[in-house]
Structure 1
Amino acid sequence: MSNNKKTLTTGAGIPVGDNQHSLTAGNRGPGLIQDYHLLEKLAHFNRERIPERVVHAKGAGAFGYFEVTNDEISKYTKAKFLSEKGKRTNMFARFSTVAGEQGYPDTVRDPRGFALKFYTEDGNYDLVGNNTPVFFIRDAIKFPDFIHSQKRLGNGLKDPNMVWDFWSLSPESLHQITYLHGDRGIPATYRHMNGYSSHTFKWVNEEGEAFWVVYHFISDQGVQGLDPELADKLAGENPDYHREDLYNSIENEDFPSWTLYVQIIPYEDYKTYKWDMFDITKTISKKDYPRIEVGKMVLNQNPGNHFADVEQSALSPANLVPGIEASPDKMLQGRIFSYADAHRYRLGANHQQIPVNRPANEINNYQRDGFMRVDGNSGNAPVYEPNSVDGPVEDPSTKIKPFEVSGEADSVAYDSTDHYTQPGDLYRLMSEDEKARLVKNFADHMRPVERDEIKLRQIEHFYKADPDWGERVAADLGLSVPESVKK
Structure 2
Amino acid sequence: MAGINTAGRHPAPQKTADWYTKSFTMPNGCPIDNPLHSNKIQQKNGNTYKISQILQDNYVMDQIAHLDRERIPERFGHANGCGAYGEFTVTSDEIQKYTCADFLSEKGKKTPLFARLSTTSAFRGSADTVRDTRGFAFKFYTDEGNLDWAFFWPGVFSIWDNGKIITNNHVTKKCPWSGLSDPNMHFDFITKNQEALNSSIRLHSDDGTPRRYNDITIRSLNTYMFVKDCQTYSYVRITLEPAHEIHTPFTNAEAASQAGLDPDYHTRRLYKQISNNNDKVDEYKGRQAELNAKLQGGKLSKAEQDKAKEEIKKLDDAIKGIHWPEWIVKAHIIQPEDVPKVKVNILDASKVFPKDQDDIIKTIEVGRLQLNRLPLNQFAEVEQAAFCAANVVPGWDIAPDPILQARIFAYPDTQRHRLGVNAEHLPVNRPKHAWNPLRRDGPAALFNYDDVPTYVADYNGAKAKEGTNTADMITNPEPWLDAKDQHPTPVVPLWDKNGSFDVTRGLNEWAEQDPLEQPWDYYINDLAGPPPKKHANQKYAHMARTKGIHYRQWALVENYAQHLSAVREELREATYAMFRTMDDQYRTDKSRKYHNLGDLIQERTNEVISEKNKVKDSDSEGDDVPVGPRKATLPLLGISPASVRPNESELPN
TM-score normalised by L of structure 1:
0.84
Residue matched to 1:425: 521
Following the alignment from structure 1 to structure 2, what is the Cα–Cα distance between the partners of residues 251 and 378?
39
| Correspondent of 1:264 among 313, 330, 333 | 333
Q: 8 Å contact 1:365–1:392 — kept in the other structure?
A: no
1:115 partnered with 2:137: yes
| Correspondent of 2:377 among 302, 305, 308 | 305
Q: What is the total number of aligned residue pairs between the two structures?
A: 428
| Correspondent of 2:364 among 278, 292, 300 | 292
Distance apart, 1:186 and its partner CA? 0.8
Letter aligned with residue 182 of structure 1? S
Following the alignment from structure 1 to structure 2, what is the Cα–Cα distance between the partners of residues 296 and 477?
42
RMSD: 1.8
Distance apart, 1:478 and its partner CA? 3.7
- The secondary structure found in structure 2 opposite 1:474 is helix
| Correspondent of 1:81 among 95, 98, 103 | 103
Matches within 5 A, 1:60-459: 60-154=82-176, 155-206=178-229, 208-224=231-247, 225-253=249-277, 254-288=323-357, 289-375=361-447, 377-387=448-458, 390-393=460-463, 397-400=472-475, 401-404=492-495, 406-416=500-510, 417=512, 418-429=514-525, 430-431=527-528, 432-450=550-568, 452-459=569-576
Q: Deviation per CA, 1:431-456, whole angstroms, max 9, x where unpaired?
A: 31111110110111011012x22112
Q: Deviation per CA, 1:249-280, whole angstroms, max 9, x where unpaired?
A: 10011521111011111112223321100111
Letter aligned with residue 204 of structure 2? H
Following the alignment from structure 2 to structure 1, what is the Cα–Cα distance between the partners of residues 183 and 472?
51
Distance apart, 1:465 and its partner CA? 2.0
Distance apart, 1:324 and its partner CA? 1.0
Q: Deviation per CA, 1:191-213, whole angstroms, max 9, x where unpaired?
A: 11111101111111136311111
Moved more, 394-403 or 185-194: 394-403
| Cα pair distance change 1:247/1:396, threshold 3 Å | closer
Moved more, 105-114 or 128-137: 128-137
Following the alignment from structure 1 to structure 2, what is the Cα–Cα distance between the partners of residues 164 and 365?
50
Letter aligned with residue 259 of structure 2? A
Following the alignment from structure 2 to structure 1, what is the Cα–Cα distance between the partners of residues 371 and 379?
18
Residue matched to 2:486: none
Letter aligned with residue 439 of structure 1? V
Residue matched to 2:68: none
Q: 8 Å contact 1:140–1:335 — kept in the other structure?
A: no
Sequence identity, in percent?
Answer: 38
- The secondary structure found in structure 1 opposite 2:504 is strand
Following the alignment from structure 1 to structure 2, what is the Cα–Cα distance between the partners of residues 396 and 177?
37
Larger Rg: 2
Distance apart, 1:393 and its partner CA? 3.3
Letter aligned with residue 582 of structure 2? A
Distance apart, 1:290 and its partner CA? 4.4
Following the alignment from structure 2 to structure 1, what is the Cα–Cα distance between the partners of residues 234 and 450?
42
Following the alignment from structure 1 to structure 2, what is the Cα–Cα distance between the partners of residues 365 and 471?
64
Following the alignment from structure 2 to structure 1, what is the Cα–Cα distance between the partners of residues 271 and 412?
28
Letter aligned with residue 565 of structure 2? R
Following the alignment from structure 2 to structure 1, what is the Cα–Cα distance between the partners of residues 425 and 473?
23
Distance apart, 1:364 and its partner CA? 2.7
Distance apart, 1:365 and its partner CA? 4.2
5+ long unaligned stretches in structure 2: 1-70, 278-322, 465-469, 476-491, 529-549, 585-595, 608-653
* Structure of greater relative contact order (alpha carbons < 8 Å, 6+ residues apart): 1
Q: Deviation per CA, 1:358-404, whole angstroms, max 9, x where unpaired?
A: 011233341111111001x111212223348x522365743422211
Residue matched to 1:36: none
Structure (1/2) with the larger helix percentage: 2
| Cα pair distance change 1:82/1:365, threshold 3 Å | farther
Distance apart, 1:328 and its partner CA? 1.4
Following the alignment from structure 1 to structure 2, what is the Cα–Cα distance between the partners of residues 239 and 478?
30
